[in-house]
């Protein structure tokens, strides 16, 4: 083969290599773009409705929980519902059966680590459901018994990482359940104690990854130190944009960065632990969107 022929062959080999490299890059690009495009095309959210026609006992749902077996539980203003993906099992109050639900008006649901289902009601106490026995145990407030549940209206139930059950009540404060004595320890507001609970109506309970127990009340947010039994208070101040956006705390959740999100009656507030101050997100009536009221952090 002459020198000219060798140069031609070498040129063609380089061109083939370049074409192959371009083809490989194009294939990789397509592989990246197609899933993104497909995901964008299929990103519309579809809802399945479960209503009275499907067997739900009542249309107003106050509480939702998925248990360790995969069943969905719905607390309504008229009975407790368990959904298995196909149909509903309804648990009703029976005035002639002391081992049935104490009330039809369900406010809260929680499963503990032993598989017991705890159900808070409006005005008729607390229930613990033993699935193996198919029976409910009732806990009612007794003003003559200091170890009874603090109120007959249980707004929220929460189990912390140690397996301790906490109950937020209406006008009865925060309760901790003692399984050894089957009784309740109360944490309540005292006007003489600045380190006590802010208010006796508790609407939200949450434990952060650091182990802090947060308690949302009708007059502010509390951070509870379980070692000392003292509460630190975070309050709303209408003239301070770096304070809570509202005094009524309805919901709590911590994100992956450790910021605590607080749902209030006037929007969202976010507590950044490194700043010890809040950022507010409130409804802008002109643009109908949530806008921050403090500078970006």
Mean pLDDT of 16-27: 42
Report residue 291's pLDDT band, with 50, 70 and 90 as the boundaries. Answer: low
Two structure tokens written together for 254: 């911590």
d(CA 265, CA 248): 6
Confidence check: pLDDT of 6 > 80: no
Residues in the chain: 297
Q: What is the DSSP letter of 101?
A: B
Can you give the pLDDT at residue 44? 80
Output the pLDDT for position 39.
Answer: 47
Tell me what pLDDT residue 294 has: 45
| Percent of the chain with pLDDT strictly greater than 90 | 73
CA distance to 50, 197, 247, per residue, from 265 (Å): 28, 20, 8
Q: pLDDT at position 273, please?
A: 74
Q: Is 229 left (phi over 0), alpha (psi -120 to 50) or beta?
A: left
pLDDT: which is higher, 294 or 291: 291
pTM of structure: 0.81
Q: What is the mean pLDDT of residues 25-35?
A: 41
The helix (run of H) or strand (run of E) holding residue 210 is: none
Phi, psi angles (nearest 5°) of residue 261: -95, 135
Report how far residue 193's alpha carbon sits from residue 172's, in angstroms, rounded to the nearest whole number.
17
Are 188 and 196 contacting, i.e. CB atoms less than 8 angstroms apart?
A: yes
- Among 204, 238, 239, residue whose Cα is nearest residue 221: 204
Q: Rounded distance, CA 125 to CA 155, Å? A: 10
Indicate the burial class of 100 (C-beta count within 10 angstroms; 0-12, 13-18, 19 or more): middle
Strand (E) or helix (H) holding 28: helix 3-41
| Confidence at residue 95, expressed as pLDDT on a 0 to 100 scale | 96
Q: Could you give the C-alpha distances from 152 to 98, 111, 206, 241, 254, in angstroms and in order?
A: 16, 19, 21, 37, 29
Q: How confident is the model at residue 1 (pLDDT cuts 50, 70, 90)?
A: low
Of 9-23, 34-48, 176-190, where does mean pLDDT reach its minimum?
9-23
Other C-beta atoms within 10 Å of 97: how many? 11
State residue 290's pLDDT score.
Answer: 56
Above 50 in pLDDT, residue 19? no
Structure confidence by residue, pLDDT tens digits, 78-132: 999 999 999 999 999 999 999 999 999 999 999 999 999 999 999 999 999 999 9
Of the chain, the end-to-end C-alpha distance in Å amounts to 71
- Distance, in Å, from the CA atom of 161 to the CA atom of 169, rounded to the nearest integer, reads 21
Is residue 11 scored above 50 in pLDDT? no
Residue 274 has what pLDDT?
73
**pLDDT tens track for 232-288:** 999 999 899 889 999 999 999 999 999 999 999 999 999 987 767 899 998 776 554
If you average pLDDT over every residue of the chain, what do you get? 86
pLDDT over threshold 90, residue 76? yes
Q: What is the pLDDT of residue 262?
A: 97
pLDDT of residue 293: 54
């Amino acid at each position: 083969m002459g020198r000219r022929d060798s140069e031609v062959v070498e040129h063609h080999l380089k061109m083939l290599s370049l074409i192959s490299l371009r083809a490989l890059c194009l294939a990789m690009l397509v592989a990246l773009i197609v899933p993104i495009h497909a995901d964008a095309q299929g990103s519309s959210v579809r809802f399945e409705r479960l209503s009275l026609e499907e067997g739900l006992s009542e249309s107003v749902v106050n509480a939702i929980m998925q248990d360790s077996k995969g069943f969905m539980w719905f607390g309504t203003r008229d009975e407790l519902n368990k959904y298995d993906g196909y149909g509903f099992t309804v648990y009703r109050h029976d005035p002639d059966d002391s081992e049935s639900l104490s009330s039809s008006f369900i406010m809260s649901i929680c499963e503990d680590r032993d598989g017991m289902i705890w159900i808070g009601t409006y005005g008729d106490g607390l229930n613990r459901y033993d699935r193996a026995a198919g029976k409910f145990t009732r806990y009612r407030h007794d003003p003559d018994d200091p170890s009874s549940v603090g109120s007959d209206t249980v707004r929220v139930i929460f189990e912390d990482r140690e397996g301790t059950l906490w109950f937020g009540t209406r006008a009865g404060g925060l309760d901790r359940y003692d399984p050894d004595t089957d009784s309740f320890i109360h944490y309540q507001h005292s006007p003489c104690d600045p380190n006590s609970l802010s208010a006796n109506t508790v609407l939200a309970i949450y434990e952060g990854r650091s182990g802090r127990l947060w308690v949302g009340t009708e007059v502010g947010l509390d951070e509870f130190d379980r070692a000392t039994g003292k509460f630190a208070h975070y309050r709303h101040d209408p003239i301070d944009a770096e304070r809570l956006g509202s005094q009524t705390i309805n919901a709590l959740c911590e994100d992956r960065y450790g910021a605590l999100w607080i749902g209030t009656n006037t929007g969202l507030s976010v507590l950044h632990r490194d700043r010890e101050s809040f950022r507010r997100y409130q409804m802008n009536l002109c643009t109908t969107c949530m806008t921050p009221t403090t500078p970006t952090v």
